[in-house]
Amino acid sequence: MDDSIQVTERVERLRKHALSRLDEVAQPRREIQLLAARGWRASAGEPWTILRRAQENAAILCGMTPVIDTDEWIVGKTCYRALTGAEEAELDAYQHNTGAYLPVVGGQTAHMAIDFDHLLQVGVVGIREEIEQFRTTLNLTDPRQQEQDAFYRACLISLEALVTASHHYAALAMAQAQTASTSQRQQELEQIAAVCRRVPEYPAATFHEAIQCAHFVTFALCCAHQTFLFQYGHPDRYLLPYYRNDVAQGTITPAQAQEWVDCLAVMLTEYTPQHLAVGWMLGGRDAQGRDVCNELTELFLRSLRHVPLAYPCTGLAWTSDTPLPIRELAADLLAGGLSHPAIFNDAVITKGLMDLGLPWEEACLYQQSTCVEITPCAASNVYVASPYINLPQLLQDVLGVPGLGAEAPANRWEHLDTFEDLLAAYRQRLTQAIEAGVMEQNALQMTRRYNGGKPLLSCFVNDCLARGRDIDHGGARYNWIEPSFVGLANLVDALHAVRQLAYQKKSIGLAQFSEMLKANYAECEPLRCQIEYRLEKYGNDIDAVDDLAQMVTHWVAEIIGRYRNYLDGRFVSGFFCWVMHERLGRETAATADGRKAGFPLGDGSGPAQGRERQGPTAAILSTTKWDHSAHIGGIALNLKFIPPQQRDVFRARLVDLIDTYIDRGGFEVQVNVVDRQKLEAARAHPQEYQDLVVRIGGYSDYFVRLSPEMQDEVILRTEHAA
């Protein structure tokens, strides 16, 4: 593979600029809030809510201040200007007098990628033509078709605003070109202006136009719908024809394309707040079953080395045919201390999607929606992580142990004479929690049906236009909901401890167990240490423990599969946590696995922190003893290694380790290569480690910006020798 393409000085400057703006990007977008308020207020009296949403979209896109900073090639990012005194008063008055009384619009949104192929091929002008064609077939005396026409009109308003926003960027680029400090920058700005006048209005014709179009529409969706979690799909697929054509014609070189890719990567940090996850998926198979890795796959992977930031969150869909150079490049990036790419099992995920009813040609085109949750590209209205369910707390409920600060549940242990009785009680409590989550999410989905509407997004999601129905109203092809179950390892270890001590050895009764947990192991430290350090733990290839994980994950899939949501979609489980293992752990009292009150729960589907005693292979064996394909809501396995002395040797071993995980049916694996000393130094001197990025529970984040509890959790993870 070509290692000659180095990071440019431009990209280095852009990266440092983005890193310096993290605090600013985390601030509320007051200008967008003001524009949204004006759009909603101006549409008062409009009977169609969907048209009011379109006016809101248009007010934001047409009114937001365009920003192009020095060195930028790819443009489109939020303006954080301070509002004037009059504007602040206007927004405050709106939020006080109107905003608090608006109808509720709940549920998840974004976490998906639009139909980039269609957008690039036909542009807004082509989508407009499709909408007008649909409108010609309507009979407006039919109330259902009248509703469809309102939706189509809302789409047209939103698309017109999208084009206007791009033209505003073109005008700014031309204005800046007049005062550019160098002739080179003048030419760059003139080219940016020409590109922004062309796309997204018209079909993309060049690599520059294609990459700008994909970015600008994604950015515009984030602004218009005030949700900064839209993803980029598979850019190494939809950008490839434009790249190859330009290279063949000699209009760009791979080095120029690499710089554009790097500039795009930086731009995600320029407009996305911290602690989220935005990015793209690379690799995988196409509709003909062929591995798709190509020149752009390599450019996007190499960009991780050029732009070592928390974003973009990069996934690599690993197949049995992924070329060895791509595997080695991915492993080398991880060996060098980068937290990306995350490795996804293409075969397992496509099987899971096909089991959910997707045809192969769609099942092979998926996105890690933010962390590891899977949503189909181009056709998704999938809610991810909705809700998070605390698995250990359900056992606490059975044992009569309340959450921290919560009211104590009724004790249930009086009639749990056998371990089988305990399991039956747990399954009943699990069913109750799932049913409560189902009802909650259905109610939220209804609020979107009656009060929501995303006409701009609906223009780019199949089959909204064909059905004449907004994405919030069920227009998308796929509408399932993905609850995520947190703390699997803690639950399994707790069940095993209770089985051992209360039922097999009978050294402590359930009533005593309950009181001990409520007291956070006060005066019981020897017993806690026995549980923590001497009892077997999940993640060490011990069947007696791992079988409990297999049982619980099977229960979850079985129970959740019974239910349908309001839009007639499925409920689909996942076992990942984002940052919720820390948040839920903070609310959870001491648990029967030896964990003390308030400490984070396990960070995914792997062993709990510090409990991998037999090395990474044993952890892989344990975590792949249950079927991952049933849990498209996402599964994450974290592995942590100390930095290797022989990087080439470690790279080869890491490839073998990943292959083993993939061959055994593992869903996703993510790697941290960082030693405890560096993490401790970063905690002591955060100003010196501002760009230290670590893997959390499915996504990456800046270590020095994590909470102290999350920093502890990362530090305490088992370090494997490289």
Q: Where exactly are the structural domains of the chain? A: 383-640
* Cα 716 from Cα 710, distance rounded (Å): 10
* Cα 554 from Cα 387, distance rounded (Å): 19
Tens digits of residue pLDDT in 384-403 = 999 999 999 999 999 999 99
Tens digits of residue pLDDT in 689-706 = 999 999 888 899 999 999
Residue 564, strand partner residues: 570
Closest among 366, 413, 598 to 515, alpha carbons compared: 413
Place of tokens 């999940």: 538
Closest among 592, 695, 698 to 635, alpha carbons compared: 698
Structure tokens at 284: 């995988």
Residue 406 is predicted with a pLDDT of 85
Residue 411 is predicted with a pLDDT of 64
Q: What are the start-end ranges of the E strands in 114-183?
A: none
Residue 696 is predicted with a pLDDT of 87
pTM: 0.97
Residue 117 is predicted with a pLDDT of 98
Q: Which residues of the chain have pLDDT under 50?
A: none
SS3 annotation, 584-610: HHHHCCCCCCCCCCCCCCCCCCCCCCC
Residue 112 is predicted with a pLDDT of 96
Tens digits of residue pLDDT in 592-616 = 999 999 999 998 899 999 898 999 9
Tens digits of residue pLDDT in 432-445 = 999 999 999 999 99
Structure tokens at 124: 């807004």
Asked if omega into 323 is within 30° of 0 (cis), the reply is no
Measured CA distances, 401 to 486, 491, 512, 522, 526 (Å): 18, 14, 11, 15, 21
Residue 719 is predicted with a pLDDT of 85
Structure tokens at 243: 């790249």
Q: Confirm if 134 and 102 have CB atoms less than 8 A apart.
A: no
- If phi over 0 gives left and psi between -120 and 50 gives alpha, with beta otherwise, what is residue 702? beta
Q: Count of CB atoms within 10 A of residue 712's CB?
A: 16
